[in-house]
A and B are shown apart, each in its own frame.
Chain A
Amino acid sequence: MHPLLLSLVLGACGEPPTEAVPPPQPVSIDGSSTVYPITEAVAEAFRAIEPDVRVTIGVSGSGGGFKKFCSGEIVLAGASRPIKKSEVDACAAKGIAFVELPVAYDGIAVVAHPTATWLDDVTVEELKAMWQPEAQGTVTRWAQIRADWPDRPFHLFGPGVDSGTYDYFTAAIVGTEHSSRGDFTPSEDDNVLVQGVATDPDALGFFGLAWYEENHDRLRLVPVEDGKPDNGAGPIAPSMETVRNGTYQPLSRPLFLYVASSALDRPEVARFLSFYLKDGRALVSEVGYVPLSDVAYELVQKRLAARTSGSVFVSGGSQVGLTVEGLLGKER
């Protein structure tokens, strides 16, 4: 920018913000758009009982939320994936210790057009064969995946590569996080994906279970077989029940809230969180997600009370096929 213009602008904008009487510091939250509806519901319900506590929520994605969290701008970060090693380091560099709190599950639904009645189920291997990077240009027809499927080209739909859902799906199906074929139709807006799959008889797509449930009359849910009979035999369709009890695998993932340990000394933050983990359970299903089991919530509450800092996802990145009980139970 030209120096003259810059100085003109600075002249107009250079004064520091007017210092009014500082209002009580809000409980500032930011992060994943997937977690947002839950946090919004909890904040709204919390306001009914504590109208004086101010809660603000922004939506800048899991990564954007961690960036703000690790620079101390916010006290709570919502995330649809565990914190990454680089983000843990960024927090540590700023001296920010945090407590990791799983708050709900989200199922990723595999869906097709309602007329695809021959598509009764799909295995993880078949999904991998369709989505892995090597499939681009070579695997293009249904019949290449399963012999009795029609000999027509299939069309893939999925969330954009910046989304946590894409990261998790690729980790769970392809085996490498953030790696898939490139010739699918991506959209950052899941409603666009719903629209795409609902109007294409040869479509196969994936997105959050909540979007399937709101549009179940124009989509066909495809049960997924993970080939591991010990967590439920045969192909399993996602539902509140199968996501919570860990049988819909590997496409169930936990959603997280990260809280700065220092903020737990603020009574209103502590009260908001205990409200989140107690009264928030009912709200989770109200907004279309899957609540944890009671055992899991107890473990999370214990973790909060003990202020256990750090992440259980030591290796970083999305991990597949874990329940919160399994994760936090290991710690004891």
Chain B
Amino acid sequence: MSTALSPTGRRADRVRERLFVALSAVSVAVPLLVLALLLGDVLRTGLGRVDWAFLTSYPSRHWERAGILPALVGTLLLNATAAAMTLPVGVAAAIWLEEYAEAAAGRGGRARRTAMGWLARLVEVNIANLAGVPSILYGLLGLGLFVRTLGMGRSLLAGACTLALLVLPVVVLASREALRTVPDSLREAAWALGATRWQLVRRVVLPLALPGILTGTILAVSRAVGETAPLVVIGALVYLTFLPTSLSSPFSALPIQIYNWTSRPQAGFQTNAAGAIVVLLATLLLLNAAAILVRARLQRRSRA
């Protein structure tokens, strides 16, 4: 900015800038176009299939009579349970890392050599790595740990625990981000008023960070809604004629049902798959809308 530019140089720069903006616009347009095509195709084939009977029927050999009830209920229960398990654990981990361990280790990377600082660093690296682990590995972990070792069997609980593990790193990362957005000036003000660390976290940091934490969590959980691979490994079923009565019940899930229908020879089942995808998308949209609503609500309250 400090370099003086000749008029011709400026003109050339303006051309370059235009080119760059055009390129950026294309980069935005391409994925949006692909998304629109996908959505359009799915909606065109699937939307007409979604009606009350489709939502409330059990699987059938007649595609026109088949429905997604056990899969839909399974998906909702699975993700609600997973969210309930992962939220407290994830937020607590984030608070510890952000408010306690950082403080013990000294902010700004001054003293990483303390035991606490070393531990915090280890946890941090592990969480960042876990966030990138392919979901099938969580499925295998869940199979070994929850299904076999802890004797949960191929139950709803085992599936929910596996999904909870899967989204946990994302929840921790999102919560840490949210905690970091709380300005340090507020922390310092609380210190100055003689607050203890617990009071600081409880009264100042957490309320301010909550909208961000909830948004992050809901977005993380909506990632789990579409997961197929870990549920296949855990043993989600395709054909069920009853709904789960407890956490130890066998279960089905929407992605499993969709996968099964897309691989059937009859074209009618492809329509069913498209219909189920529409329902899955609607579920995701509802979740995301809920995230936005919650954030807006809490932000208004915290400003007031």
Contact = CB atoms under 8 A, between A and B. Distances in A.
A214 B266 contact: yes
B199 interface: no
B248 A56 contact: no
A189 interface: yes
Contact of A17 (B240, B246, B263): B246
Interface string A52-95: 00111111100000001000010000000000000000000000
Nearest to B169: A5
A192 to B, nearest CB: 9
A18 B244 CA distance: 13
A40 interface: yes
A28 B151 CA distance: 18
Interface residues of A, number: 51
Interface string A8-33: 11011110111110010010101001
Nearest to B264: A37
Contacts of B245: 20, 23
B152 interface: yes
A286 interface: yes
B150 A14 contact: yes
B248 A18 contact: yes
A9 B89 contact: yes
Given A4-B123, A33-B263, 16 more contacts: A2-B123, A5-B126, A9-B164, A13-B164, A17-B155, A17-B246, A18-B248, A30-B235, A37-B264, A40-B60, A56-B240, A58-B238, A59-B260, A190-B265, A213-B265, A214-B265
B241 A2 contact: no
B100 to A, nearest CB: 13
B157 to A, nearest CB: 5
A16 B241 contact: no
B237 interface: yes
Contacts of B236: 58
Contacts of B249: 23
Interface of B: 58-61, 85-86, 88-89, 92-93, 119, 122-123, 126-127, 130, 141, 146, 150-155, 157, 161, 164-165, 168, 232, 235-242, 245-250, 260, 262-267, 270
Given A9-B164, A40-B59, A58-B238, A17 B248 contact: yes
A186 interface: no
Contacts of B127: 5
Interface stretch (A41-49, A119-127, A234-242, A264-272): A41-49
Contact of B89 (A12, A18, A28, A57): A12
B248 A12 contact: no
30 contacts: A1-B126, A1-B130, A2-B122, A2-B126, A5-B126, A8-B89, A9-B89, A9-B165, A17-B247, A23-B249, A26-B250, A37-B264, A40-B238, A41-B61, A43-B241, A44-B60, A44-B61, A55-B239, A56-B237, A57-B238, A58-B236, A60-B235, A188-B263, A189-B262, A190-B263, A190-B265, A191-B265, A211-B265, A214-B265, A215-B265
Contacts of B93: 5, 8
B61 A13 contact: no
B150 A56 contact: no
